[in-house]
Structure formats: C-alpha cells, structure tokens
C-alpha cells in the first residue's frame, strides 16, 4: 500500500526545488531501475508491481498497477519506479575531452547529450547553472542509464573557464573553423550552447578556438543544427582521430 506521504514525496520530485530539498530523484522502468541499482547510486525506495529486484526488504514496496499510476510521470507506467539519492558530484579531473554546456534548456537534449558522452567515453560533463537539471525525470528517461556513468557537475561556467588555463577551450560558433579541417586538441574542453542563442557572448569571449559544422544543403543561414545532433557530430570528430590513426 502506498501512503499519502509517499505519493506526495514522489510527486514533488518532478520539481527541481523539491529534488534539491530532499536530495532525491526518480527513475522509472525496470531496465532503468536495474542500471541505477548496479551503479554507485544509493537507493532510497523502490515501488514495483512484482518481486523483481534484490534489494533490502524495507526499501521495497510491492504495489499494483493502479497505485503505480498514481506516482508515475509516464503516460504508460513501466512496472517499477525507484527513488535514488542525488550523489555529491565528484571533483572535475582535467584531462581527456570534457564537454561543457552553456544553457542547454531542453531535458530531451540534455538526456541525449549525456548518452552521447557515455558512448564516446567522455567522463565529465560540465553544465552552466542555467542548463536543465540532470535529475529532471525527462533527462533521466532520455539518458537511459548513461547518467550512472558520466560525472555531471553544475557550476558557474564563466568562473570555471576563467580559472582554468591548462586546457584549450573550443566552442561551436557559426563563424568558426570547419570542424572537418580543424586539428582537434586532446585534452580539450568543448563548449556547446543554448538551443535558441548558442554560446553566450560572455562564454564566447573565453574560447581559445571556434569550430563549426559546415552546411551542405540549401538551408537558410539562420537555421542551425539541434544542439544534441551538433554534439554527436563534434564528439564523433574528436574521437574519429583516435581510431583512424591506428
């Protein structure tokens, strides 16, 4: 049985302020819950329509479909929902390729970018404070467990970039150099910007290099690639060298 206070708590976690107050977030679906259980994330409680997880008994709540519907944020609830503790983010290790997001607002885009970081072996993702929250349910859903493998750090991006001078900072700008012809450094920090406005002026002035994905079609100049697909292409370019040089 679900108590009223459990329902209230879980539903409140769809909002960032309550996630921060409680230090908790929600994962839905059997596959997703399993991935978080197999990671360093600490379980707070689990709600399942069947005995399918080996966890501490007092953390497991067997519920029925009707009850799950009450706490799920999905149109079609996925048999299990778990609440995990938001971990302290680890310190940033400067090395390899680091991705930095400057105001990416769409949870779906952030989720896709986290998944791309995971795929391309990017261990650290830096987010400006106005970037979408990575524990937003839509981000958790879209990142599909990659959230357990990428270290995500929210910070004042300007302060961070001013403070670090070891590693070159590259960003995507329309007037940048053709990414296919650029020599891409490693280590590097790669900055991607907001969906509507790209990289802010403030952050733009801190870039050591500007790159762009050239356009081949008859698209109007004002159009741009979606930030998640741009990230896919840029990370692919950074990584292709390490395989083709073999």
Nearer to a second copy, 6 or 109 (CB): 109
Nearer to a second copy, 164 or 226 (CB): 226
Nearer to a second copy, 61 or 229 (CB): 229
Distances (CA, A) of 91 to 65, 88, 120, 155, 186: 41, 9, 20, 11, 20
Supply the minimum distance, in Å, between the C-beta of residue 11 and a second copy. Answer: 20
Nearer to a second copy, 44 or 177 (CB): 177
Supply the minimum distance, in Å, between the C-beta of residue 107 and a second copy. Answer: 13
Q: How far apart are CA 230 and CA 139, in angstroms?
A: 18
Phi first, then psi, for residue 60 (nearest 5°) are -95, 130
Supply the minimum distance, in Å, between the C-beta of residue 184 and a second copy. Answer: 13
Q: How far apart are the first and last CA of the chain?
A: 58
Distances (CA, A) of 14 to 10, 87, 126, 171, 213: 8, 17, 22, 32, 36
Q: Which residue has the tokens 């009450």?
A: 70
Supply the minimum distance, in Å, between the C-beta of residue 187 and a second copy. Answer: 15
Which stretches of the chain bind a second copy, using CB under 8 A? 108, 112, 115-122, 144-146, 149, 178, 180-181, 213-220, 223, 225-226, 228-230, 232-233, 236-237, 239-240, 242-244
């Amino acid at each position: 049985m679900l108590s009223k206070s459990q329902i209230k708590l879980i539903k409140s976690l769809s909002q960032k302020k309550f996630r921060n107050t409680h230090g908790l977030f929600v994962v839905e679906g059997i596959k997703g819950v399993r991935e978080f259980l197999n990671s360093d994330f600490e379980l707070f409680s689990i709600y399942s329509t069947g005995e399918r997880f080996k966890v501490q008994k007092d953390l497991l709540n067997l519920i029925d479909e009707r009850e799950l519907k009450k706490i799920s944020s999905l149109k079609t609830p996925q048999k299990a929902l778990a609440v995990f503790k938001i971990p302290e983010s680890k310190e940033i290790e400067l090395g390899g390729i680091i991705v930095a997001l400057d105001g990416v607002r769409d949870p779906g885009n952030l989720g896709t970018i986290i998944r791309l970081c995971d795929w391309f072996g990017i261990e650290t993702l830096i987010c400006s404070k106005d970037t979408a929250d990575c524990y937003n349910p839509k981000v958790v859903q879209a990142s599909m467990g990659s959230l357990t493998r990428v270290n995500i750090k929210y910070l004042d991006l300007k302060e961070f970039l001013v403070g670090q001078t070891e590693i070159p900072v590259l960003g995507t700008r329309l007037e940048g150099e053709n990414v296919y012809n650029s020599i891409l450094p490693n280590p590097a920090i790669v900055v991607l910007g907001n969906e509507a406005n790209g990289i802010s002026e403030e952050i733009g002035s801190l870039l050591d290099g500007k790159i762009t994905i050239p356009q081949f079609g008859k698209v109007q100049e004002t159009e741009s690639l979606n930030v998640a697909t741009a990230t896919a292409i840029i990370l692919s370019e950074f990584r292709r060298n390490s395989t083709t040089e073999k």
